[in-house]
Amino acid sequence: MEKSNYVNLNPLGIESDSMEIISRELSHLHIPEQYASIVKRVIHTTADFEYAHLFEAHPNAVELAKNALQQSCRIYADTSMIVAGVSKPSLKKLGCELHCFVHDEEVVAEAKAQGITRSICGINKAAQDERFRIFVIGNAPTALVRLCELYAEGIVKPDLVIGVPVGFVGAAESKQMLKESGIPYLLIRGRKGGSTVGVAMLNALLYELIKRN
């Protein structure tokens, strides 16, 4: 193979070259077919191969999520960075909507009044609309904990929760709680994760459905 140029200027070429490098570096690991594109896209986004080891999935999560996306479900994200990062053309093709309520006026007022995170109040609001069948939690452990509580109370029944809050206070514990909740999940164990990781996972699912890759 010829050595590639110093900097590849073609956007699609850059992505396929990257995915080739990732596949090569992952070739010693056995990653089940249905998770391969998700794990690769997370590594593409973070340049951190540890994610291959921290990734966990509920056995039905991918199938349920794809089904929900093909039924034009609503998706809730806990940060506006996630909303900014998810592929708009893919959402449009599938007729899906993606929302985040942390800057919603009602939610901001409620959080201030109660002295709790806007993330919790955002989840409470999304839970009132059953069209939200997929949740992407990239930042707030409190949002993920609240979601597990609402599930236990029978108030929400998501087809998928992407549980990837990052951090040092409650993140690992909230993901353990998700794993034990009964909710179909994709998650990253421990402290790591973040909005870009959540975006990568959701985009991987979307791209498979619209056959972008």
Tell me the catalytic residues.
44
Burial status of residue 189 (CB atoms within 10 A of its CB: 0-12, 13-18, 19 or more): middle
Q: Are 77 and 99 in contact (CB under 8 A)?
A: yes
Pick one of 10, 70, 72, 213: the residue that binds its own copies (CB under 8 A): 10
Q: Specify the residue, 133 or 192, whose C-beta has the smaller distance to its own copies.
A: 192
The reply on whether position 85 binds its own copies by CB under 8 A is yes
Q: Where are the beta strands (DSSP E) in the chain?
A: 55-57, 74-77, 97-99, 132-137, 160-163, 185-188
Q: Specify the residue, 62 or 139, whose C-beta has the smaller distance to its own copies.
A: 139
What are the structure tokens assigned to 45, written together?
A: 């986004």
Q: Specify the residue, 62 or 187, whose C-beta has the smaller distance to its own copies.
A: 187
Report how far residue 175's alpha carbon sits from residue 185's, in angstroms, rounded to the nearest whole number.
9
The reply on whether position 27 binds its own copies by CB under 8 A is no
The reply on whether position 21 binds its own copies by CB under 8 A is yes
- Residues in the interface with its own copies (CB under 8 A) total 47
Please list the alpha-helical segments (H only) found in 95-194.
105-114, 118-126, 141-152, 171-181
| Residue numbers at the binding site for its own copies (CB under 8 A) | 4, 6-11, 14, 17-18, 21-22, 44-48, 79-81, 83-85, 115-118, 120, 141-142, 145, 166-171, 173-174, 190-196, 199
